[in-house]
Amino acid sequence: MSLKRIFAAAPALPTTATRGGRATRRRFPTGQGCRNHRLTILCGVITVLVFRGTIGISWFASMPEVGSKNEETDRIIAEIRADDDSDPTITSNGAYTLGPKIDNWDGLRQRWLQENRGFPNYVDGIPRILLVTGSQPGPCSNPIGDHYLLKSIKNKVDYCRMHNIEIVYNMANLDGQLTGCWAKLPLIRKLMVSHPEVEWIWWMDSDAFFTDMLFDVPIAKYDSYNMVVHGFPNLLFDDKSWIALNTASFLLRNCQWSLDLLDSWAQMGPKGRTREEAGKILTANLKGRPSFEADDQSALIYLLISRKDEWMDGVFLENSYYLHGYWTGLVDRYEENIKKFRPGFGDERWPFVTHFVGCKPCGGVGDYALETCLRNMERAFNFADNQLLEVYGFSHRGLSSPNVKRIRNETTRPLEHSGKINVRTSLLEGSASQN
């Protein structure tokens, strides 16, 4: 059948109707208009796809969602903090230990020093000292804390540079059982046996600042001792006080006695039930101690009290200068110290160390408001930093300001004053001229 016949056979389209002799046009159903709109939308979608394929996907992908970078940073930091290596160090009989027992360290070390004379433990009659400090492996939960950790290590590097002291900054937890304040013990032991050329290991907490940059520790005073720690005999043995001494800053001689002390000291440190039960013993026996898990300072106090005959002959309790200085009684007096004295005393006239006990700038709950701690830590850092800056002709604009100002004009002949760049010599000259 031809197309012509098909169309001829089909009825006429109902486009018009006669009503009363007049032609009336009928309206098309609305479905056809809808189909036209759909077709328009489909064409628009195809156009967008073609356009996107032409200019590349990267143009669209270059506009990330707001906050995506911050979320990724937070995720990475959370993963770092959550990484906890808690593998215990145990002996074959199940007892905790800092490491394999060393019985003849004095003899082994002496033999090593004789065979390695290029690494003497005394240089020009002065014992070699290694300052050790550190912080946790992960970032601070409070970002400002990392900034003050940086200021703390800068302060220590400056002091060590002036006094020919070597320094180690540690961020690794060497023993999963000894965490927190206890982490210093395995670190000190490892450094002690790894550096037989070092005569003294000097531990210093990250929240302690040197504030008398000129003061020299009177190391010859301790020739007959193996440990130097800030403390008071009456508080230790009469009062049995839990603050009789402070372990934020102490010196330990590299010898067998010290290795044995570290082994005994660490017994209360393993985290978990051991540390919790030890905390109960310490609270029951030390005056004024609150109820919490064992800490290294209380454990040392208890060890020296309970085994006095075994250990005290090797310990020097220092209080003639501030090997540890409690910050609340010191920071507000810095301006008075500057007016009346010069660095070099190390005592209340010009405190050697200012320790921010009870402050938690890195995060956590402290005994003092964070703002108070940060403000006073800034003052302590600048108080110490000025002692170096003034050698170069600068000073902080104030103890609360990180900004500096010039206090001496430049010279066209700098080499004439090159000796002044020796910070220690310059400070000694200034101290002698004003005292």
| pTM given for the model | 0.77
Closest CA to 148 of 414, 403, 356: 356
Are 96 and 265 in contact by the 8 Å Cβ rule? The answer is: no
Query: Which one has a higher pLDDT value, 365 or 13?
Result: 365
pLDDT of residue 274: 95
pLDDT tens digits for range 36-93: 666 666 666 666 555 555 444 444 334 444 454 455 445 444 544 444 444 445 443 4
In the sheet where 129-134 sits, what is the strand order? 166-170, 129-134, 200-204, 245-253, 227-231, 315-318
Enumerate long-range contacts of 304-312, CB under 8 Å, 24 or more apart. 304/236, 305/236, 305/237, 305/240, 307/264, 308/237, 311/261
**Residue 418 CA from chain centroid, whole number:** 36
CA–CA separation, 297 vs 278, rounded Å? 13
* Band (271; pLDDT cuts 50, 70, 90): very high
Q: What percent of the chain has pLDDT over 90?
A: 68
pLDDT band at 435 (very low <50, low <70, confident <90, very high): low
CA–CA gap between residue 96 and residue 182 (Å, rounded): 14
What pLDDT is recorded for position 6?
37
**Residue 427 in contact with residue 387, Cβ under 8 Å?**
yes
Q: Are 98 and 267 in contact (CB under 8 A)?
A: no
